[in-house]
A and B are shown apart, each in its own frame.
Chain A
């Protein structure tokens, strides 16, 4: 790896890494989504949890997610350097040495798993360890460079946090937690393929076999539409199965229809510029979508528990 100097002319080799650079290794934006979905799993779980233990559980899940982000950046430094979206990450930008990212990832992995086990239970800790392993080894080291289905299978890593939150409270894996897992799992492909559609050049330059580069735009748009339909149908399962009420059903229905509309608009877009614009809209909307339905899940649950709904 060639080290380049940062804006102050200081390289990672010279020991010039800043605290913010180490924090960036933890992928804070991904971490915030993980914290939110894990918190939803924790709040929905029956029985409740001591607030201090709940806080420590969420902290461990966040740090575990950050650790897998650092391991991902350690392994992917070569391809990150080739993509505009990732070229400014701390390692390709020359602000942190690769070995430091590996050390940080391993240390935080061990600490987060052990602390979660001590604070809650070893099922939750085991799930967190498996999630880190799945993201860092199965997805990053294997699937990402091997198959266009990389993010379909790899998406499981991002789907575990609500299940871990649930397990931290109950010591079990409930049906509700499995539904939350399934919603994130089905959300991941349309979310990332929309990104891959408007960042195709990046992935092609790095040699990553994303679906648009391998199967073409048309096939990707069909897959996005199909996954969107299955996702929205699955998002209504909690209401059908009776563990969420009207608030959730309305939120999931309305936001789901918007999701399908954007996926349909992307499917219909033929020209390059409108297609990229539609892909970008779907990508941006998908983030809000996940946030809204998980928030609706909690609101609905709290309303029912307190007798408002």
Chain B
């Protein structure tokens, strides 16, 4: 009984962790998309500005 409950709790924690990782990856992908989109939209001229 006790072992069964512990097993279930461990599974719940593992699932929560996987959900968090998936969400982090999705947000990371969104950041990359916005970054790349900005570069593409601005074109090659982005590298020609005076520093």
Contacts and interface: CB of A to CB of B under 8 A. Distances in A.
A43 B49 CA distance: 34
A59 B19 CA distance: 21
Interface string B19-36: 100100000001001001
B12 A15 contact: yes
A100 B30 CA distance: 21
List 10 tightest A-B contacts by C-beta distance, closest first. Answer: A19-B22, A52-B40, A19-B18, A18-B15, A119-B37, A8-B11, A50-B40, A16-B15, A19-B19, A16-B12
A18 B18 contact: yes
Interface residues of A, number: 19
Interface in A26-84: 50, 52-53, 56, 59
Which range holds the interface residue count of chain B?
A: 10 to 19
A56 B37 contact: yes
Interface of B: 8, 11-12, 15-16, 18-19, 22, 30, 33, 36-37, 40
Contacts, number: 37
Given A53-B40, A119-B37, 9 more contacts: A15-B16, A18-B19, A19-B22, A52-B40, A53-B37, A56-B37, A59-B33, A111-B30, A115-B33
B18 to A, nearest CB: 5
B19 A9 contact: no
Given A52-B36, A56-B33, A118-B37, A10 B19 contact: no
A50 B44 CA distance: 13
A204 interface: no
5 contacts: A8-B8, A15-B16, A19-B19, A118-B37, A119-B37
A52 B37 CA distance: 8
Contact of B12 (A10, A22, A111): A10
Contacts of A141: none
Contacts of A22: 19, 22
Given A52-B36, A52-B40, A53-B40, A17 B11 contact: no
A8 B12 CA distance: 10
Contacts of A52: 36-37, 40
Contacts of A119: 37
A14 interface: yes
Contact of A9 (B8, B15, B22, B37): B8
Nearest to A111: B30
A17 B18 CA distance: 10
A53 B8 CA distance: 44
B37 to A, nearest CB: 6
Contacts of B11: 8, 10, 16
Contacts of B37: 52-53, 56, 118-119
Contacts of A53: 37, 40
Contacts of A9: 8
Contacts of A56: 33, 37
